[in-house]
A and B are shown apart, each in its own frame.
Chain A
Amino acid sequence: MKTKNFGRFALIPYAIWIVLFVIAPLLLIAYNSFLDIEGNFTLLNYAKLFSPVYMKMMFNSFLYASIVTAVSLLVGYPVAYLLSRTKHKRLWLVLMILPSWINLLLKTYAFLGILGTEGPVNAFLEAIGIGGQQLLFNDFSFIFVSTYIFIPFMILPIFNAIEKINPSLIYASRDLGASNITTFQRVIFPLTKDGIQSGFQLVFIPTLSLFMITRLIAGNRVITLGTAIEQHFLVTQDWGMGSAIAVVLIIAMAIVMYATRKIMK
């Protein structure tokens, strides 16, 4: 009995936290999204979202998030798989995850240096005779840096899912006549679906609302909904419009989570 009561008390700080910093802000955002710049009630913010400008932004957000997620998956899955086969896998895993301990802004600035006109990559290209290239401020650099930043979140859950597979299942599959490729298709891949699903959500959802990288690395050439929210809150001070975009993004994320769960089933 006593521990049960204690359990209930222990939940209080968490409940306060959730109410103050999760539920209240969400309600505030929802409320704000119905106010115009003067503070009057309006539905215009949502109407504006259907204008070509915002539709394009929304399309861009989804497009880039999809590309980054797809690249992370295509690169991350084999990496996770090979990682689970190496001898010092925990060490390798830490090395893979280490960059995610570094502040996002620092990493982004580091790439400005690496990919800049005076940076080492360009110096190398010069040296081998290809000549300097404009590496920053384009789609490629944006996708490259975003993938670099988010890929650990794809590798980790997939790695865990592969590690969880009972090795005798692989033997059983081989024993029943399956080649390595068939074993992957019929046993390993289906049993790592949960990992892929987690990885997908951990990468897709944050990339959907990226903003800083879009400006620093893509030079505002890639304008996503994240950028739009930032601009509305900090530059145009149109909190209503910013909130409306945020609400739409939250709904979109919920749909994505629901859909991935359905598809992966």
Chain B
Amino acid sequence: MSNTIIRFENVTKVFDDHIVLDNVSFEIERGKFYTLLGPSGCGKTTILRLIAGFVEPTQGNIYIDENCVNKIPANLRPVNTVFQDYALFPHLNVFENVAFGLRIKKVSAHEVKERVANALKFVNLEGFENREITEMSGGQRQRVAIARAIVNQPQLVLLDEPLSALDLKLRTEMQYELRELQQRLGITFVFVTHDQEEALAMSDEIFVLNKGTIQQSGTPTDIYDEPINRFVADFIGESNIVEGTMLADNLVSFANRTFDCVDMGFNQNEPVEVIIRPEDLEMTSAETGKIPVKVDSQLFRGVHYEICCYDDFKNEWLVHSTKKVEVGSTIGLDFDPEAIHIMRLGETEAEFDKRLEAYED
């Protein structure tokens, strides 16, 4: 059995002359937690619907277990979906909602009872069998929807922004539960979200999408630490992005100064974009800091202060710090060479990976 469960081969989807997915290729491996992350309209839900079989690709092929499923209808695919609005059947109670798929497969009554009970136990809903859907809270409905999907023992569970309707506290709780559930079941989850924190917290692998193409794929730390371009850097967490010039390997210039860094493989004097995450910036005095900046505003975020500063070249610098500063004062910013991340302009993911591999050896 190959480890690849889903493969997209140059898949394009066009709706009413509008290209929603543009020549997308990727593979999804068995037993991992994948997240499709991107702003609304980036094509992430379309990918999910293509896997589920609700829409057909305009071009390209989709493989499940190395079988082309372009023409296989949704009801014959080994895939189950947890919908954004849960899509629970209002005329059926909790038990019958979960049993729906099993009843269609003509599973024996005894087995239905056992498997539904197990699935409900998995999502901590024992004893809720006879409740009506209208009697369940948002979080409980969410669990019923998950139970209804996993009870069929699919190879792949698709989750379409299932947490977006929950309040913050419940959402964080469900993130833990979903992640744990996926690991206990050992089946593949493909999770769609526009919430980067959710993606970082839960995933083995993240696909960042924008305008119908995959911008970058990788583990949460890869994507956070080494974003491929401005879009990814901006979308995943907050970033300071300034223009700079690569003087030589391990030497970059921005904000009119020269800094040591750990990036290589650029042309001499190549214009680049420089990223430093707000939490990697230390505040010191103006004299000792690497970049002197003026504090423009300060927001209390609970865990930290978010401090917005400007340097002499009108570059904005966002700092996350537990220390408070005075608005209007001049301070210095300090950072390690490792905190600097350099992005080549217009680099594709393949080129990016190649360059990274080249200098890692």
Chain A interface residues toward B at CB < 8 A = 166, 168-169, 171-179, 182, 186-187, 190-191
Contact = CB atoms under 8 A, between A and B. Distances in A.
Interface stretch (B30-38, B77-85, B327-335): B77-85
Contacts of A177: 75-76, 101, 104-105, 152
Contacts of B53: 174
A175 B91 contact: no
Nearest to A175: B81
Interface string B58-94: 0000000000000001111001110111011111000
Contact of B83 (A168, A178, A179, A182): A168
Contacts of A173: 89, 100
A175 B151 CA distance: 13
A171 B83 contact: yes
A177 B73 CA distance: 9
Contacts of A187: 89
B89 A172 contact: yes
Contact-residue bracket for chain B = 20 to 34
Nearest to B74: A174
A176 B101 contact: yes
A190 B74 contact: no
A173 B81 CA distance: 10
A166 B75 contact: no
| Interface SS, B side | loop
B143 interface: no
Contacts of A191: 90-91
A1 to B, nearest CB: 34
Nearest to A171: B54
A186 B75 contact: no
A197 to B, nearest CB: 14
B54 A176 contact: no
Contacts of A175: 52, 54, 74-75, 79-81
Contacts of A168: 83-85, 87
B148 interface: yes
12 contacts: A166-B85, A171-B87, A173-B89, A174-B73, A174-B75, A175-B54, A175-B81, A176-B104, A176-B148, A177-B101, A182-B104, A191-B91
The 6 closest A-B pairs by CB, nearest first: A176-B101, A172-B87, A168-B87, A174-B74, A177-B104, A190-B91
A84 B171 CA distance: 36
B100 A176 contact: yes
B102 to A, nearest CB: 9
Contacts of B76: 177
Interface in B135-164: 148, 152
A156 to B, nearest CB: 21
A191 B90 CA distance: 8
Contacts of B87: 166, 168-169, 171-172
Contacts of B148: 172, 176
Nearest to B77: A175
A174 B81 CA distance: 10
Contacts of B91: 190-191
Interface in B211-245: none
Nearest to A168: B87
A176 B90 contact: no
A254 B237 CA distance: 66
Nearest to B84: A168
Contacts of B81: 171-172, 175
A80 to B, nearest CB: 18
A169 B83 CA distance: 9
B89 A169 contact: yes
A213 to B, nearest CB: 37
Contacts of B79: 175
Nearest to B99: A176
Nearest to B100: A176
